[in-house]
Chain A
Protein backbone atom coordinates (compact mmCIF):
# COMPACT_ATOMS: atom_id res chain seq x y z
CA UNK A 1 0.00 0.00 0.00
CA UNK A 2 1.33 3.40 -0.91
CA UNK A 3 1.40 6.24 1.46
CA UNK A 4 -1.43 8.63 1.16
CA UNK A 5 -1.65 11.95 2.84
CA UNK A 6 -4.39 12.33 5.30
CA UNK A 7 -6.23 15.46 6.23
CA UNK A 8 -7.22 18.51 4.22
CA UNK A 9 -3.72 19.24 2.89
CA UNK A 10 -3.88 16.07 0.78
CA UNK A 11 -6.72 17.49 -1.27
CA UNK A 12 -4.78 20.63 -2.02
CA UNK A 13 -1.74 18.69 -3.09
CA UNK A 14 -3.74 16.49 -5.43
CA UNK A 15 -5.41 19.45 -7.00
CA UNK A 16 -2.09 21.14 -7.52
CA UNK A 17 -0.53 18.18 -9.31
CA UNK A 18 -3.61 17.85 -11.51
CA UNK A 19 -3.20 21.44 -12.48
CA UNK A 20 0.45 21.05 -13.37
CA UNK A 21 -0.27 18.03 -15.51
CA UNK A 22 -2.98 19.91 -17.32
CA UNK A 23 -0.65 22.84 -17.98
CA UNK A 24 2.05 20.56 -19.27
CA UNK A 25 -0.30 18.70 -21.61
CA UNK A 26 -1.78 21.85 -23.09
CA UNK A 27 1.72 23.26 -23.63
CA UNK A 28 2.72 20.07 -25.41
CA UNK A 29 -0.31 19.97 -27.65
CA UNK A 30 0.08 23.66 -28.37
CA UNK A 31 3.59 23.12 -29.68
CA UNK A 32 2.34 20.21 -31.76
CA UNK A 33 -0.41 22.31 -33.19
CA UNK A 34 1.99 25.12 -33.97
CA UNK A 35 4.28 22.69 -35.71
CA UNK A 36 1.43 21.27 -37.75
CA UNK A 37 0.28 24.76 -38.64
CA UNK A 38 3.66 25.72 -40.00
CA UNK A 39 3.87 22.49 -41.99
CA UNK A 40 0.40 23.02 -43.28
CA UNK A 41 1.17 26.59 -44.31
CA UNK A 42 4.22 25.44 -46.18
CA UNK A 43 2.29 22.78 -47.97
CA UNK A 44 -0.54 25.10 -48.69
CA UNK A 45 1.66 27.67 -50.32
CA UNK A 46 3.25 24.94 -52.45
CA UNK A 47 -0.14 23.67 -53.51
CA UNK A 48 -1.36 27.20 -54.08
CA UNK A 49 1.62 27.91 -56.23
CA UNK A 50 1.04 24.84 -58.29
CA UNK A 51 -2.68 25.41 -58.63
CA UNK A 52 -2.29 29.03 -59.60
CA UNK A 53 0.38 28.17 -62.13
CA UNK A 54 -1.80 25.56 -63.73
CA UNK A 55 -5.17 27.05 -62.93
CA UNK A 56 -6.43 27.33 -66.46
CA UNK A 57 -5.31 23.84 -67.31
CA UNK A 58 -7.05 22.44 -64.26
CA UNK A 59 -10.22 24.24 -65.14
CA UNK A 60 -10.32 23.55 -68.82
CA UNK A 61 -8.46 20.37 -69.55
CA UNK A 62 -10.24 17.24 -68.36
CA UNK A 63 -7.17 15.03 -68.59
CA UNK A 64 -5.00 17.50 -66.69
CA UNK A 65 -7.72 17.83 -64.10
CA UNK A 66 -7.77 14.10 -63.74
CA UNK A 67 -4.01 14.01 -63.23
CA UNK A 68 -4.20 16.78 -60.66
CA UNK A 69 -6.89 14.91 -58.79
CA UNK A 70 -4.86 11.75 -58.83
CA UNK A 71 -1.90 13.65 -57.48
CA UNK A 72 -4.01 15.14 -54.72
CA UNK A 73 -5.41 11.79 -53.73
CA UNK A 74 -2.04 10.03 -53.85
CA UNK A 75 -0.53 12.52 -51.43
CA UNK A 76 -3.62 12.34 -49.28
CA UNK A 77 -4.93 15.83 -49.87
CA UNK A 78 -8.58 16.46 -50.27
CA UNK A 79 -8.90 19.62 -52.32
CA UNK A 80 -12.36 20.05 -50.93
CA UNK A 81 -11.17 20.29 -47.35
CA UNK A 82 -10.05 23.56 -45.92
CA UNK A 83 -10.82 26.21 -43.40
CA UNK A 84 -13.02 28.15 -45.76
CA UNK A 85 -16.20 27.18 -47.49
CA UNK A 86 -15.31 25.50 -50.75
CA UNK A 87 -11.96 24.22 -49.55
CA UNK A 88 -8.47 24.94 -50.83
CA UNK A 89 -9.54 25.35 -54.42
CA UNK A 90 -11.89 28.13 -53.55
CA UNK A 91 -9.12 29.76 -51.60
CA UNK A 92 -6.62 29.63 -54.41
CA UNK A 93 -7.02 32.89 -56.20
CA UNK A 94 -10.72 32.53 -56.63
CA UNK A 95 -10.32 29.35 -58.57
CA UNK A 96 -13.88 28.32 -58.15
CA UNK A 97 -14.19 24.95 -56.64
CA UNK A 98 -16.03 23.44 -59.45
CA UNK A 99 -15.84 19.90 -58.26
CA UNK A 100 -17.68 20.89 -55.14
CA UNK A 101 -20.11 22.70 -57.35
CA UNK A 102 -20.38 19.67 -59.62
CA UNK A 103 -21.15 17.50 -56.62
CA UNK A 104 -24.01 19.78 -55.69
CA UNK A 105 -25.29 19.62 -59.25
CA UNK A 106 -25.10 15.83 -59.28
CA UNK A 107 -27.06 15.66 -56.05
CA UNK A 108 -29.51 18.16 -57.48
CA UNK A 109 -30.13 16.04 -60.55
CA UNK A 110 -30.21 12.75 -58.71
CA UNK A 111 -32.70 14.06 -56.17
CA UNK A 112 -34.91 15.77 -58.71
CA UNK A 113 -35.03 12.75 -61.00
CA UNK A 114 -35.27 10.23 -58.19
CA UNK A 115 -39.02 10.28 -58.15
CA UNK A 116 -39.00 9.40 -61.81
CA UNK A 117 -36.31 6.75 -61.83
CA UNK A 118 -36.32 5.28 -58.35
CA UNK A 119 -32.82 6.48 -57.61
CA UNK A 120 -30.98 4.94 -60.54
CA UNK A 121 -29.76 7.12 -63.35
CA UNK A 122 -27.69 6.21 -66.32
CA UNK A 123 -24.27 7.85 -66.44
CA UNK A 124 -24.84 9.22 -69.92
CA UNK A 125 -28.16 10.70 -68.87
CA UNK A 126 -26.63 12.26 -65.78
CA UNK A 127 -23.83 13.65 -67.89
CA UNK A 128 -26.34 15.12 -70.32
CA UNK A 129 -28.38 16.73 -67.54
CA UNK A 130 -25.31 18.10 -65.76
CA UNK A 131 -24.10 19.63 -68.99
CA UNK A 132 -27.53 21.10 -69.58
CA UNK A 133 -27.67 22.46 -66.04
CA UNK A 134 -24.29 24.13 -66.41
CA UNK A 135 -25.27 25.85 -69.62
CA UNK A 136 -23.85 25.50 -73.09
CA UNK A 137 -20.74 27.52 -72.43
CA UNK A 138 -19.86 25.35 -69.44
CA UNK A 139 -16.55 23.59 -69.71
CA UNK A 140 -16.59 20.00 -70.75
CA UNK A 141 -17.52 17.52 -68.05
CA UNK A 142 -16.39 13.93 -68.35
CA UNK A 143 -17.56 10.72 -66.78
CA UNK A 144 -14.40 10.79 -64.75
CA UNK A 145 -15.32 14.15 -63.24
CA UNK A 146 -18.67 12.75 -62.19
CA UNK A 147 -16.96 9.71 -60.80
CA UNK A 148 -14.62 11.90 -58.75
CA UNK A 149 -17.39 14.12 -57.52
CA UNK A 150 -19.41 11.15 -56.43
CA UNK A 151 -16.41 9.88 -54.51
CA UNK A 152 -16.26 13.16 -52.65
CA UNK A 153 -19.93 12.77 -51.76
CA UNK A 154 -19.24 9.52 -49.96
CA UNK A 155 -18.53 11.01 -46.53
CA UNK A 156 -22.07 12.37 -46.53
CA UNK A 157 -23.30 8.82 -46.33
CA UNK A 158 -26.00 9.50 -48.85
CA UNK A 159 -25.16 6.29 -50.66
CA UNK A 160 -24.18 7.80 -53.99
CA UNK A 161 -22.39 5.18 -56.01
CA UNK A 162 -21.47 4.28 -59.55
CA UNK A 163 -22.53 0.76 -60.43
CA UNK A 164 -22.16 -1.33 -63.52
CA UNK A 165 -25.42 -2.78 -64.77
CA UNK A 166 -25.24 -4.97 -67.83
CA UNK A 167 -22.15 -3.22 -69.12
CA UNK A 168 -23.52 0.27 -68.60
CA UNK A 169 -22.58 2.65 -65.86
CA UNK A 170 -25.36 3.88 -63.66
CA UNK A 171 -25.36 6.22 -60.71
CA UNK A 172 -27.30 5.08 -57.73
CA UNK A 173 -28.50 7.67 -55.27
CA UNK A 174 -30.37 5.47 -52.86
CA UNK A 175 -28.89 3.20 -50.26
CA UNK A 176 -30.20 0.02 -51.70
CA UNK A 177 -28.46 -3.03 -52.92
CA UNK A 178 -29.76 -4.40 -56.16
CA UNK A 179 -29.50 -8.13 -56.21
CA UNK A 180 -28.60 -10.20 -59.26
CA UNK A 181 -32.19 -10.86 -60.23
CA UNK A 182 -33.11 -7.21 -60.08
CA UNK A 183 -30.11 -6.37 -62.18
CA UNK A 184 -31.23 -8.92 -64.76
CA UNK A 185 -34.68 -7.33 -64.78
CA UNK A 186 -33.17 -3.91 -65.31
CA UNK A 187 -31.05 -5.13 -68.22
CA UNK A 188 -34.01 -6.79 -69.88
CA UNK A 189 -36.31 -3.83 -69.24
CA UNK A 190 -33.88 -1.51 -70.93
CA UNK A 191 -34.24 -3.47 -74.15
CA UNK A 192 -37.98 -2.90 -74.07
CA UNK A 193 -37.93 0.81 -73.37
CA UNK A 194 -38.51 0.22 -69.68
CA UNK A 195 -41.39 -2.26 -69.91
CA UNK A 196 -41.08 -5.74 -68.47
CA UNK A 197 -43.55 -8.56 -67.88
CA UNK A 198 -43.32 -11.89 -66.11
CA UNK A 199 -43.41 -13.89 -69.35
CA UNK A 200 -40.25 -12.23 -70.64
CA UNK A 201 -38.35 -13.39 -67.58
CA UNK A 202 -39.77 -16.87 -67.84
CA UNK A 203 -38.95 -17.22 -71.53
CA UNK A 204 -35.67 -15.40 -71.75
CA UNK A 205 -34.20 -16.09 -68.33
CA UNK A 206 -35.82 -19.49 -67.80
CA UNK A 207 -37.09 -18.38 -64.42
CA UNK A 208 -40.08 -20.00 -62.79
CA UNK A 209 -43.24 -17.95 -62.69
CA UNK A 210 -42.93 -17.65 -58.92
CA UNK A 211 -39.43 -16.29 -59.12
CA UNK A 212 -40.32 -13.80 -61.84
CA UNK A 213 -43.40 -12.69 -59.95
CA UNK A 214 -41.52 -12.32 -56.66
CA UNK A 215 -38.71 -10.27 -58.11
CA UNK A 216 -41.09 -7.93 -59.92
CA UNK A 217 -43.47 -7.52 -57.03
CA UNK A 218 -40.61 -6.80 -54.65
CA UNK A 219 -39.23 -4.18 -56.98
CA UNK A 220 -42.71 -2.70 -57.18
CA UNK A 221 -43.90 -2.85 -53.60
CA UNK A 222 -40.84 -3.03 -51.42
CA UNK A 223 -38.26 -1.03 -53.33
CA UNK A 224 -40.31 1.38 -55.41
CA UNK A 225 -38.01 0.69 -58.35
CA UNK A 226 -40.80 0.22 -60.84
CA UNK A 227 -44.30 1.38 -61.67
CA UNK A 228 -47.28 -0.77 -62.43
CA UNK A 229 -49.31 -0.55 -65.63
CA UNK A 230 -52.61 -2.38 -65.19
CA UNK A 231 -53.85 -1.40 -68.64
CA UNK A 232 -51.24 -3.29 -70.61
CA UNK A 233 -52.74 -4.68 -73.83
CA UNK A 234 -50.78 -7.93 -73.86
CA UNK A 235 -50.36 -9.10 -70.33
CA UNK A 236 -52.72 -6.88 -68.38
CA UNK A 237 -50.02 -6.30 -65.80
CA UNK A 238 -46.77 -4.77 -66.94
CA UNK A 239 -43.98 -3.31 -64.88
CA UNK A 240 -42.12 -0.18 -65.94
CA UNK A 241 -38.69 0.76 -64.70
CA UNK A 242 -38.33 4.55 -64.87
CA UNK A 243 -34.55 4.25 -64.80
CA UNK A 244 -34.69 2.17 -68.01
CA UNK A 245 -37.12 4.49 -69.77
CA UNK A 246 -36.01 7.15 -72.19
CA UNK A 247 -37.19 10.49 -70.84
CA UNK A 248 -37.20 13.74 -72.63
CA UNK A 249 -37.42 16.61 -70.21
Chain B
Protein backbone atom coordinates (compact mmCIF):
# COMPACT_ATOMS: atom_id res chain seq x y z
CA UNK B 1 0.00 0.00 0.00
CA UNK B 2 1.56 3.25 -1.13
CA UNK B 3 0.46 6.51 0.39
CA UNK B 4 0.02 8.82 -2.52
CA UNK B 5 -1.27 12.26 -3.29
CA UNK B 6 -4.86 12.55 -4.48
CA UNK B 7 -6.73 15.14 -6.46
CA UNK B 8 -10.15 16.02 -5.05
CA UNK B 9 -13.24 16.73 -7.18
CA UNK B 10 -12.64 20.44 -6.58
CA UNK B 11 -9.17 20.07 -8.11
CA UNK B 12 -7.19 20.27 -4.90
CA UNK B 13 -4.08 18.13 -4.57
CA UNK B 14 -4.16 16.37 -1.22
CA UNK B 15 -0.73 15.58 0.24
CA UNK B 16 0.15 11.92 0.72
CA UNK B 17 -0.08 12.23 4.49
CA UNK B 18 -3.82 12.68 4.04
CA UNK B 19 -3.96 8.99 3.02
CA UNK B 20 -2.28 7.90 6.24
CA UNK B 21 -4.88 6.59 8.73
CA UNK B 22 -3.12 7.92 11.88
CA UNK B 23 -3.22 11.45 10.48
CA UNK B 24 -6.86 11.56 11.63
CA UNK B 25 -6.06 10.73 15.24
CA UNK B 26 -4.70 13.13 17.82
CA UNK B 27 -1.22 11.98 18.74
CA UNK B 28 -0.42 11.37 22.40
CA UNK B 29 3.26 12.14 21.85
CA UNK B 30 3.58 15.95 22.01
CA UNK B 31 6.38 16.12 19.43
CA UNK B 32 4.48 13.96 16.99
CA UNK B 33 1.34 15.92 17.68
CA UNK B 34 3.11 19.21 16.92
CA UNK B 35 4.25 17.79 13.59
CA UNK B 36 0.78 16.53 12.74
CA UNK B 37 -0.77 19.86 13.70
CA UNK B 38 1.65 21.72 11.46
CA UNK B 39 0.64 19.48 8.59
CA UNK B 40 -3.02 20.09 9.30
CA UNK B 41 -2.58 23.84 9.49
CA UNK B 42 -0.74 23.92 6.19
CA UNK B 43 -3.39 21.71 4.63
CA UNK B 44 -6.27 23.83 5.95
CA UNK B 45 -4.73 27.08 4.79
CA UNK B 46 -3.83 25.88 1.31
CA UNK B 47 -7.26 24.33 0.90
CA UNK B 48 -8.96 27.51 2.12
CA UNK B 49 -6.95 29.49 -0.39
CA UNK B 50 -7.84 27.04 -3.14
CA UNK B 51 -11.56 27.22 -2.41
CA UNK B 52 -11.57 30.82 -1.15
CA UNK B 53 -12.98 29.72 2.17
CA UNK B 54 -12.79 32.22 4.97
CA UNK B 55 -14.23 30.43 7.95
CA UNK B 56 -13.83 27.10 9.66
CA UNK B 57 -16.00 25.82 12.50
CA UNK B 58 -15.72 22.90 14.88
CA UNK B 59 -19.14 21.84 13.57
CA UNK B 60 -17.60 21.31 10.15
CA UNK B 61 -16.15 18.10 11.59
CA UNK B 62 -19.53 17.05 12.97
CA UNK B 63 -21.71 17.43 9.91
CA UNK B 64 -21.39 16.20 6.38
CA UNK B 65 -21.94 18.05 3.17
CA UNK B 66 -20.07 21.20 4.08
CA UNK B 67 -17.21 22.97 2.34
CA UNK B 68 -14.58 21.13 4.31
CA UNK B 69 -15.60 17.52 3.59
CA UNK B 70 -12.76 16.96 1.17
CA UNK B 71 -10.08 17.44 3.76
CA UNK B 72 -11.73 16.68 7.11
CA UNK B 73 -12.71 13.25 5.81
CA UNK B 74 -11.02 10.59 3.81
CA UNK B 75 -13.59 8.08 2.65
CA UNK B 76 -11.05 5.95 0.81
CA UNK B 77 -9.54 4.94 4.13
CA UNK B 78 -12.69 5.55 6.16
CA UNK B 79 -11.20 8.13 8.48
CA UNK B 80 -12.47 11.48 9.62
CA UNK B 81 -11.35 14.20 11.93
CA UNK B 82 -13.15 14.34 15.27
CA UNK B 83 -14.57 17.67 16.45
CA UNK B 84 -12.35 17.77 19.55
CA UNK B 85 -9.32 17.31 17.35
CA UNK B 86 -10.40 20.12 15.05
CA UNK B 87 -11.04 22.32 18.07
CA UNK B 88 -7.42 21.86 19.17
CA UNK B 89 -6.17 22.64 15.69
CA UNK B 90 -8.22 25.84 15.60
CA UNK B 91 -6.65 26.77 18.90
CA UNK B 92 -3.16 26.14 17.52
CA UNK B 93 -3.97 28.25 14.46
CA UNK B 94 -5.11 31.16 16.59
CA UNK B 95 -1.91 30.88 18.63
CA UNK B 96 0.16 30.91 15.44
CA UNK B 97 -1.75 33.94 14.26
CA UNK B 98 -3.00 32.31 11.08
CA UNK B 99 -6.61 32.54 12.27
CA UNK B 100 -8.71 34.49 14.77
CA UNK B 101 -11.78 33.47 16.69
CA UNK B 102 -14.71 35.22 15.07
CA UNK B 103 -16.96 36.26 16.64
CA UNK B 104 -14.61 36.84 19.58
CA UNK B 105 -15.05 35.24 23.01
CA UNK B 106 -15.87 31.77 21.70
CA UNK B 107 -13.73 28.92 20.43
CA UNK B 108 -15.94 27.22 17.85
CA UNK B 109 -15.29 29.15 14.73
CA UNK B 110 -12.43 31.08 13.21
CA UNK B 111 -11.69 33.38 10.33
CA UNK B 112 -8.70 32.07 8.43
CA UNK B 113 -5.71 34.17 7.50
CA UNK B 114 -4.53 32.39 4.40
CA UNK B 115 -3.40 35.83 3.42
CA UNK B 116 -2.03 38.23 5.99
CA UNK B 117 -3.82 41.58 6.50
CA UNK B 118 -0.88 43.20 4.68
CA UNK B 119 -1.38 40.95 1.66
CA UNK B 120 -5.10 41.66 1.72
CA UNK B 121 -4.36 45.39 1.92
CA UNK B 122 -2.30 45.13 -1.21
CA UNK B 123 -4.98 43.15 -3.04
CA UNK B 124 -7.62 45.59 -1.90
CA UNK B 125 -5.74 48.65 -3.10
CA UNK B 126 -4.89 46.96 -6.36
CA UNK B 127 -8.54 46.14 -6.93
CA UNK B 128 -9.75 49.67 -6.08
CA UNK B 129 -7.29 51.30 -8.44
CA UNK B 130 -7.70 48.79 -11.29
CA UNK B 131 -11.48 49.23 -11.20
CA UNK B 132 -11.17 53.02 -11.13
CA UNK B 133 -12.60 53.46 -7.69
CA UNK B 134 -9.90 55.60 -6.15
CA UNK B 135 -11.04 58.77 -4.39
CA UNK B 136 -14.67 57.70 -4.24
CA UNK B 137 -16.43 56.82 -1.05
CA UNK B 138 -17.39 53.14 -0.89
CA UNK B 139 -19.32 51.13 1.63
CA UNK B 140 -17.94 47.84 2.93
CA UNK B 141 -20.77 46.15 1.10
CA UNK B 142 -19.52 47.63 -2.20
CA UNK B 143 -16.29 45.79 -1.58
CA UNK B 144 -17.55 42.45 -0.25
CA UNK B 145 -20.32 42.16 -2.81
CA UNK B 146 -19.22 43.95 -5.97
CA UNK B 147 -21.21 43.72 -9.21
CA UNK B 148 -18.30 41.85 -10.76
CA UNK B 149 -16.75 39.22 -8.54
CA UNK B 150 -13.29 40.03 -7.28
CA UNK B 151 -10.78 38.39 -5.00
CA UNK B 152 -12.40 40.33 -2.21
CA UNK B 153 -15.90 39.01 -2.74
CA UNK B 154 -17.21 37.68 0.59
CA UNK B 155 -14.14 38.75 2.52
CA UNK B 156 -15.14 38.87 6.20
CA UNK B 157 -15.62 42.41 7.51
CA UNK B 158 -13.03 41.68 10.18
CA UNK B 159 -10.35 40.99 7.60
CA UNK B 160 -11.49 43.89 5.45
CA UNK B 161 -11.19 46.29 8.36
CA UNK B 162 -7.69 45.04 9.12
CA UNK B 163 -6.66 45.50 5.52
CA UNK B 164 -8.11 49.03 5.49
CA UNK B 165 -6.26 49.79 8.72
CA UNK B 166 -3.01 48.78 7.04
CA UNK B 167 -3.76 51.08 4.10
CA UNK B 168 -4.75 53.91 6.43
CA UNK B 169 -1.37 53.73 8.11
CA UNK B 170 0.25 54.02 4.69
CA UNK B 171 -1.93 57.01 3.82
CA UNK B 172 -3.65 55.04 1.06
CA UNK B 173 -7.10 54.90 2.62
CA UNK B 174 -9.37 56.87 4.91
CA UNK B 175 -12.33 55.61 6.91
CA UNK B 176 -15.31 57.92 6.72
CA UNK B 177 -18.54 57.94 8.67
CA UNK B 178 -21.48 57.72 6.29
CA UNK B 179 -25.22 57.28 6.60
CA UNK B 180 -25.06 53.47 6.50
CA UNK B 181 -22.29 53.33 9.09
CA UNK B 182 -18.73 53.37 7.84
CA UNK B 183 -17.29 53.88 4.42
CA UNK B 184 -13.84 54.03 3.00
CA UNK B 185 -12.02 56.07 0.42
CA UNK B 186 -8.83 54.89 -1.26
CA UNK B 187 -6.05 57.12 -2.51
CA UNK B 188 -3.33 56.51 -4.99
CA UNK B 189 -0.79 56.98 -2.23
CA UNK B 190 2.87 57.82 -2.51
CA UNK B 191 4.82 56.16 -5.25
CA UNK B 192 1.72 54.59 -6.69
CA UNK B 193 0.19 56.00 -9.83
Chain B CB within 8 A of A17 CB: no
With A228-B27, A228-B28, A248-B16 known as contacts, the answer to whether A238 contacts B5 (CB < 8 A) is: no
Pick from B25, B31, B32, B36: contact of A231, CB below 8 A. Answer: B25
A229 touching B21 by the CB < 8 A rule? yes
Hey, what's the 0/1 contact readout for B1-12 against A, CB within 8 Å counting as 1? Answer: 111110000000
Q: How many residues of B contact A (CB 8 A)?
A: 24
Contact indicator per residue, chain A 205-249, by CB within 8 Å of chain B (1) or not (0): 000000000000000110010011111110000101010011111
Which chain A residues have a beta carbon within 8 Å of chain B's beta carbons?
115-116, 193, 195, 220-221, 224, 227-233, 238, 240, 242, 245-249
The answer to whether B22 and A224 have CB atoms under 8 Å apart is no
Q: How close is B184's CB to chain A, nearest CB, in angstroms?
A: 44
Q: By the criterion CB–CB under 8 Å, are B31 and A224 in contact?
A: yes
Chief secondary structure at chain B's binding surface: mixed
Task: Verify B25–A247 contact, CB threshold 8 A.
Answer: no
- Nearest B residue to A230 via CB reads B25
The majority secondary structure among interface residues of chain A is: mixed
Least CB separation from A232: chain B residue: B21
The smallest C-beta distance from A225 to any residue of chain B, in angstroms, reads 9
B20 at the binding interface (Cβ < 8 Å): yes
Nearest opposing residue in chain A for B4, CB measure: A248
Q: Across the interface, do B16 and A247 meet the contact criterion of CB distance under 8 Å?
A: yes
Q: Min CB distance, A238 to chain B, in Å? A: 7
Taking a contact as CB atoms under 8 Å apart, the answer to whether B21 and A240 are in contact is yes
Query: How many angstroms between the C-alpha atoms of A248 and B3 in the bound complex?
Result: 6
Q: Are A240 and B20 in contact, CB atoms less than 8 angstroms apart?
A: yes
